[in-house]
Amino acid sequence: MRLLVTGGAGFMGSNFVHYIYASRPDAEILVYDKFTYAGRIENLKELDTSRVKIVKGDILDQEKFTETLKAFQPDYVVHFAAETHVDRSIKDPSIFIDVNVKGVYIILEALRRHDGPKLIHISTDEVYGDISGEPVTEEAPFKPSSPYSASKASGDLLCQAYWRTYSLPVRIVRPSNNYGPRQFPEKLIPKTILRALNGLPIPVYGDGSQERDWLYVEDFSRGLETIILRGRDGEAYNLPGLNPKTNIQVIQDILTLLGKPHSLITFVPDRPGHDKRYAMRGDKVLSLGWKPQTPWLDGLRKTIEWYKANEWWWRPLLGDEFFSKDTPWGGTR
Ligand SMILES: NC(=O)c1ccc[n+]([C@@H]2O[C@H](COP(=O)([O-])OP(=O)(O)OC[C@H]3O[C@@H](n4cnc5c(N)ncnc54)[C@H](O)[C@@H]3O)[C@@H](O)[C@H]2O)c1
């Protein structure tokens, strides 16, 4: 199996590359990544370069992406590359529109003109927006709330249109919140772990009652592999964690596991447009034989242990701002 993985130097992309590298000795992988602030060569460093090739490239560079596609001849393009931080999208949406909308268009066009590979597009549960009632299926309407989720919804819709219009073989995957090793410290779980380890206050948006459905990144990788092996073209698949937790619960669990006082928690004004709850049904992917296997506290313990053991990885990423008591909270994704 030949996989071209865009964004394979980021959090979920690199975890997926590590997972496939270990589980499928037949797999040959090419990571195509711009190495933005979120993409790091360190995330791929233990992998044998005869099986994992790395190309530094921007998905907005149509010519380079097309050349790479032609030279590598993958069976699948697995498209992770994106701008991913909601707070950054609120400050300045423009790069989110470029990468998450135009970038998807460039990949779809390259594939339309190049027979062969199938596209596996990584979308998000955030396209459905705030869910107050029952968890939603893949048929639920899109109601994105932030510039990030609106840009992801646009990319998802473009993939649906290319399937309808050109029969371009594409499968869409909508994962819930992932956690695990190598996640950039601006996101809720690593930020809480690292601030708590350093004895800093943990600011929480609003009253902390926002609910997310947490999926351990290795379970995500197995789910994605299942969709690649057993999914159908033209289908979208929710990939839920089936593990809903409020933000305040997540933070309290981390503090308890670290033996730190809950008094570190401080409440700060809520993020504009903050979704209260994400909740998806996973019947389609469950019917393919996948289910999450990592119990919440086990996954959280493994994540904490990884950050404790890999200070070399996160220390260079933390500027003075991180250690300031006044740093605004860089929320829940
Ligand atoms: N993290 C989550 O919980 C979560 C949940 C659901 C969906 N997603 C989606 O999964 C995907 C991966 O998320 P993540 O958290 O691993 O992201 P991340 O921010 O950790 O990594 C993004 C990667 O994309 C690369 N990239 C960014 N712009 C690029 C460009 N123009 N060209 C080439 N590469 C570029 C970065 O260098 C980085 O390696 C994204 O599409 C995201 O929307 C994430």
Q: Identify whether 278 is part of a domain.
A: no
Largest CA distance in the chain: 58
Q: Identify whether 295 is part of a domain.
A: no
Domain region containing 72: 2-178+214-239
Distance of CA 13 to the CA centre of its chain: 8
Q: Give the span between the Cα atoms of 256 and 18, in whole angstroms.
A: 30
- The confidence score (pLDDT) of residue 180 equals 98
Nearest CA to ligand 1 atom 8: 124
Is 39 touching ligand 1 by the criterion CB < 6 Å? yes
The atom number, within ligand 1, closest to the CA of 79 reads 41
Q: What is the CATH number of the domain that holds 139?
A: 3.40.50.720
Ligand 1: centre distance to CA 151 (Å): 13
DSSP string, 289-330: T----S-HHHHHHHHHHHHHH-HHHHGGG--GGGG-TTPPP-
Residues 305 and 258: beta-carbon distance below 8 Å: no
Ligand 1: centre distance to CA 88 (Å): 13
- The confidence score (pLDDT) of residue 35 equals 98
Q: Give the span between the Cα atoms of 160 and 292, in whole angstroms.
A: 26
Q: Give the span between the Cα atoms of 171 and 137, in whole angstroms.
A: 16
Number of domains in the chain: 1
Nearest CA to ligand 1 atom 28: 82
Query: Tokens for 307?
Result: 């950050």
Q: Identify whether 219 is part of a domain.
A: yes
**Residues with catalytic roles:** 125-126, 148
Residues 300 and 257: beta-carbon distance below 8 Å: yes
3-state helix, strand, coil in the chain (%, to 5): 45, 15, 40
- The confidence score (pLDDT) of residue 322 equals 74
Choose one of 36, 66, 84 to mutate for the ligand 1 pocket test, by most ligand atoms within 8 angstroms of C-beta. 84
Is 99 touching ligand 1 by the criterion CB < 6 Å? yes
Question: Considering only CA atoms, which of 73, 255, 234 is closest in space to residue 160?
Answer: 234
Q: Identify whether 333 is part of a domain.
A: no
Is 33 touching ligand 1 by the criterion CB < 6 Å? yes
Q: Give the span between the Cα atoms of 311 and 313, in whole angstroms.
A: 5
Backbone angles phi, psi at 242, to 5 degrees: 55, 40
Ligand 1: centre distance to CA 262 (Å): 31
Q: Identify whether 48 is part of a domain.
A: yes
Q: Identify whether 184 is part of a domain.
A: no
Is 80 touching ligand 1 by the criterion CB < 6 Å? yes
Ligand 1: centre distance to CA 188 (Å): 15
The atom number, within ligand 1, closest to the CA of 37 reads 37
Q: Identify whether 247 is part of a domain.
A: no
Is 9 touching ligand 1 by the criterion CB < 6 Å? yes
Is 158 touching ligand 1 by the criterion CB < 6 Å? no
Choose one of 80, 86, 221 to mutate for the ligand 1 pocket test, by most ligand atoms within 8 angstroms of C-beta. 80
- The confidence score (pLDDT) of residue 324 equals 64
Q: Identify whether 93 is part of a domain.
A: yes
Please report, as a single letter, which amino acid is at residue 54.
Answer: I
For residue 204, what are the β-bridge partners?
267
Q: Give the span between the Cα atoms of 156 and 237, in whole angstroms.
A: 12
Only one residue has tokens 């701008």, namely: 83
- The confidence score (pLDDT) of residue 327 equals 55
Nearest CA to ligand 1 atom 26: 81
3-state SS record for 93-129: CHHHHHHHHHHHHHHHHHHHCCCCCEEEEECCHHHHC
Ligand 1: centre distance to CA 12 (Å): 7
Ligand 1: centre distance to CA 23 (Å): 22
Residues 157 and 171: beta-carbon distance below 8 Å: no
- The confidence score (pLDDT) of residue 331 equals 46
Which pLDDT tens digit goes with each residue over 78-116? 999 999 999 899 999 999 999 999 999 999 999 999 988
Q: Give the span between the Cα atoms of 31 and 33, in whole angstroms.
A: 6
Residue 164, H or E segment: helix 147-166
Residues 122 and 79: beta-carbon distance below 8 Å: yes
- The confidence score (pLDDT) of residue 115 equals 85
Residues in the chain: 333
Residues 170 and 118: beta-carbon distance below 8 Å: yes
Residues of the chain with pLDDT under 70: 323-333
Residues 66 and 107: beta-carbon distance below 8 Å: no
